[in-house]
Every structure is written in C-alpha cells, then in structure tokens.
Chain A
Amino acid sequence: QVQLQESGPGLVKPSETLSLTCTVSGGAISTYYWALIRQSPGKGLEWIGYIYNGGTVTYNYSLASRVTISVDTSKNQFSLKLNSVVAADTAVYYCARGRSSGGLGYFDYWGQGLLVTVSS
C-alpha cells in the first residue's frame, strides 16, 4: 500500500520560503507523477504542480514564478519550495501520487495534509 507523509514547518513568516517534504513508502518514486496540491481555508483544491520522469516538472502557471518541486530518489522523497509567501498561501498542503490514463494526471494516493500558516 502506497503511503505519503508530508512534513515541514507549520508556521512560516511572510516573505520567507515555505518548505515541505513528502516521504513516499510502499512504492518507488522513480515512476509516476508526484504532485503538490493545496486547499486554502474555506476554498477549493488548487494543483501546484508535479514532478515525473526523475526530474521533469510542470507547474501551475499562477505559482510558477515562486515554486520549485524537486525529487530525491535515494530517500524516496519529493519536496516543495514556495518563496516570498503571503497570507494567501496559508493552506493545507497535500502530497499526492499521479497517474495517467491518457490525460495529464489523476491522483490515486494522497497524504493526510500539512497545515501551513503564513503569519508573523
């Protein structure tokens, strides 16, 4: 059974960098898409981006100037960095595994989510 676990600080100051790590167990990270998705309080789900093929990334253009997703296959982990955060970046951040059946990805396993609050 594939499991994903988010880890990182729960509080980040405005203008600083949000860093989050997703640890994958029960499956190799060298295949599939590995995605970050967030949900701001009272709002819907927003796809941040994903990494696949060992390092190819696709980002949501709305966040692309501030986002970096990377992978460490030796640790079976992938990571998110979101810089210059503002209060609107406060959200529950989810890691997810993506697959494709002809489209650009659906998410068949998710982590429990990590609440990250941006506040001074």
Chain B
Amino acid sequence: DIQMTQSPSSLSASVGDRVTITCRASQSVSEHLNWYQHRSGEAPKLLIYGSSRLKNGVPSRFSGSGSGTEFTLTISSLQVEDFATYYCQQSDSTPLTFGPGTKVDIK
C-alpha cells in the first residue's frame, strides 16, 4: 500500500492568513494526488484533483502543486468557511489511500 502522511496534523490560523499543508507519499504517485475539505457533519468536498486542477466552483484561493512524493495545498487567504480538516488522497494505485488529515482551526 502507498502510505500517505500530512504535516502539520493541525494548525491554528487567522482569517486572511496564507496556509500551506504538505502531503507526502511513501512512493511516487506521479500527479495522481487529490485534496478534500471536510467540515464536521458535512459531506467531504473535492478541492483539487490531479495535483493542481481546481474543481469547478472551488474558490481560486485554493491551489495545489507537486509531483512524485511531495505535494502541497495552499490557501492564499484563509476565510471563515475554510476552517475544516483537509485530506490528501492518492489515486495512483489500489488500494486508494488517504492521508491522516490536517485540522485547520481558528487562532
């Protein structure tokens, strides 16, 4: 299985801050890396697929980059609605696996 790790596991930030989350894979996943936002009690939402492709309708303050084993999700200016847990997921090989999540809360 491809193991996914994320750092940090949690962070506190203020509205307007730039936030960067890192996801690492235990072996290369090419650009087959996806990012999700999960607010408690809601359905998870796809933000980014294929490492850097923004899903239609997702605000442009979200961006993704990386290839191989290291990836980043950046929120350029954090908004109130962005406080949530973020997960990466590799889609390079089965079993598809997720990172453990990064919880973003209010400072």
Contacts and interface: CB of A to CB of B under 8 A. Distances in A.
Given A94-B43, A110-B44, A105 B99 contact: no
Contact of A47 (B31, B55, B95, B100): B95
Interface string B28-41: 01111010100001
Per DSSP, chain B at the interface is: loop
Contacts, number: 73
Interface residues of A, number: 26
A78 B70 CA distance: 35
Interface residues of B, number: 30
Given A46-B98, A104-B96, A112 B49 contact: no
A54 interface: no
Contact of A106 (B30, B34, B43): B34
Interface of B: 29-32, 34, 36, 41-46, 49-50, 53, 55, 87, 89-101
